[in-house]
Structure 1
Amino acid sequence: MAPVLDRIRVGSAPDSWGVWFADDPRQVPWRRFLDEVAEAGYSWIELGPYGYLPTDPARLTDEVARRGLAVSAGTVFTALHHGPAVWESTWAQVARVAALTRATGARHLVVIPSFWRDDKTAEILEPPELTAEQWVHLTKGMERLGHEVKETYGLDIVVHPHADTHLDTEAHVERFLDSTDSELVNLCLDTGHYAYCGGDSVKLIETYGERIGYLHLKQVDPAVLADVVADGLPFGPAVRRGVMCEPPSGVPELEPVLVAAQRLGVDLFAIVEQDMYPCPPDRPLPIAVRTRRFLRSCGA
């Protein structure tokens, strides 16, 4: 019998429909995404890249609500390890996303660090390891961001470790958590990205449970990942090779992750993200339906 996972709120995101950009002719149109995510049986969505869904709050709220959906979070990319010089430009883009996120009734803002290599061209943009000074900029910058977003918009930031960023491996994630204030900054644990970078999601939940504020559910194909590592591929080409796969065919196993999250005793969003950019427009819906069925079999 499946465990009861009554503290887990399952949703999906534009990412699972092959959406990475605000506007790209290869992507599914936004109305189709909303129609299909509801058809697949999800109740919650993320906003995806700013500008993909309508940015007028009244229109967005109406389009989401009339399909029986609700918004769990917005998403921003930041480069706070560059220090105070980037604060103003960072805040300008955060503010517009946070304002729209608040207008939908959501309470979370997912914050992703910037890439150290280009996810299309593989160009090395900066060293993959931060200096001690850059670590301070990153951690203090995220604390400032957490404080300002909470004060101004009433949202909690959840920082998302991500492949090809400076916040990726177990060592980097633990250093980040140990260096930040839990009152200001918590984590969006993406099970796929963490596995991609060698981390153990269940161990992280059991060790740093009080810092887990949000989940992204994703799996990695171990065989493809081995080739990606051997070939030194950046994340974008790795996705095109199929490194992120449909559950339950990859790692980590999602039921133990969800059970560990349930044991924390708090309500948590668990948003499905299967990176598939670019993909044929008819591919996402059947996968989404099967994934939702699988998660129900796990108790979620």
Structure 2
Amino acid sequence: MGKVHIGTAPDSWGVWYADDPQQTPWSRFLDEVARAGYTRIELGPYGYLPTDPVQLKAELDRRGLTMTAGTTFEQLHRPDGWEATWRDVAATAQLTAAMGAKHLVVMPSMWRGANGEVVEDRLDHEGQARHGRQVTELGRRVAEEFGLRTQYHPHADGHVDTQDTVERFLEETDPEYVNLCLDTGHISYCGGDNLDLIRRYPDRIGYVHLKQVDPKILAEVEGLSFDEAVSRGVMCEPPYGVPELPPLLDALAALDAELSAIVEQDMYPCSPDVPLPIAERTLAYLRSHGGGESS
């Protein structure tokens, strides 16, 4: 049996951007994470938390927090996407590694815009194959230059989103350098089956984001952008959505691995007074249903 270690992320405090006056200030976020009982966090959007490694390490240590991963997006499906991708990846990876984290969570760029418009064609099989080779090369460089494992995060409205695109992505990437950040909410939002992915690709599950989707709201937002769906509350507090988390936690614990499972409840935008009570209830729920440890 492996072990599932629970943490949280700026996303669960309504944070999507490095600087946005609607968002919870970073010092309040860190204070409330510790108050809620978590000891692990993700970096979140680069620039939201302090980017000076000495300052950030001191802020984490003061609150008894450690970092599990950095998060960033890529544009590697584009012929000219490497330079811009590497610029963002390198900055995030450098800070992440300085915090002693082991993972870099990488997400695809979007084929649909925030207003619901289609901004890029979907990748065909040839495009998926090229993309997979580029992401593998990214994972190789991240490992060699920063000592981090690349965990790829499917994202609604992104070029890797539905179950078939996830499966194709896994076929086109090298597990030595790239594995899957299983985001339970995005997989369910896009009609996929989280348990099936765990059963069929046990060796590719390298990291986890825990979230749930409200099926009633999901049915109402069909055709809208993911951003608009989130603003309407499509991502909900456990245990009020899908997928059911206890069976997933059991399946993850049955893997022969030590996994970080980061609670992410997309809530942008939200009042700064909203996240803390939800975070406390969510951690208590996960602990009571086999949700590993927070320390």
Provide the secondary structure at the position in 1 that maps to 2:167.
helix
Task: Supply the AA of the counterpart residue of 1:139.
Answer: G
Distance 2:84 2:241 in 1: 38
* One of 111, 117, 124 as aligned partner of 2:118: 124
Distance 1:194 1:8 in 2: 19
Structure 2: 5+ residue stretches without partners: none
TM value normalised by structure 1? 0.95
Deviation at 1:6, TM superposition (A): 6.4
* One of 50, 54, 71 as aligned partner of 2:50: 54
What's 1:256 paired with?
Answer: 247
Provide the secondary structure at the position in 1 that maps to 2:255.
coil
Matches within 5 A, 1:68-147: 68-83=64-79, 85-119=80-114, 121-127=115-121, 129-147=122-140
Distance 1:123 1:177 in 2: 28
Distance 2:60 2:208 in 1: 21
Q: Retained in 2: the 8 A contact 1:82–1:134?
A: no
Provide the secondary structure at the position in 1 that maps to 2:280.
helix
Distance 1:90 1:222 in 2: 34
Q: Retained in 2: the 8 A contact 1:242–1:276?
A: yes
Percent identity of the aligned residues? Answer: 60
Distance 1:12 1:136 in 2: 33
Distance 1:90 1:12 in 2: 25
TM value normalised by structure 2? 0.97
Render the CA deviation track for 1:179-223: whole Å, top value 9, x for unaligned: 211111100000000000011111110110100000000000000
Q: CA RMSD in A?
A: 1.0
Q: Retained in 2: the 8 A contact 1:221–1:249?
A: yes
What's 2:148 paired with?
Answer: 155
Structure 1: 5+ residue stretches without partners: none
Provide the secondary structure at the position in 2 that maps to 1:158.
strand
What's 2:267 paired with?
Answer: 276
Distance 1:284 1:228 in 2: 23
What's 2:23 paired with?
Answer: 27
Distance 1:273 1:105 in 2: 21
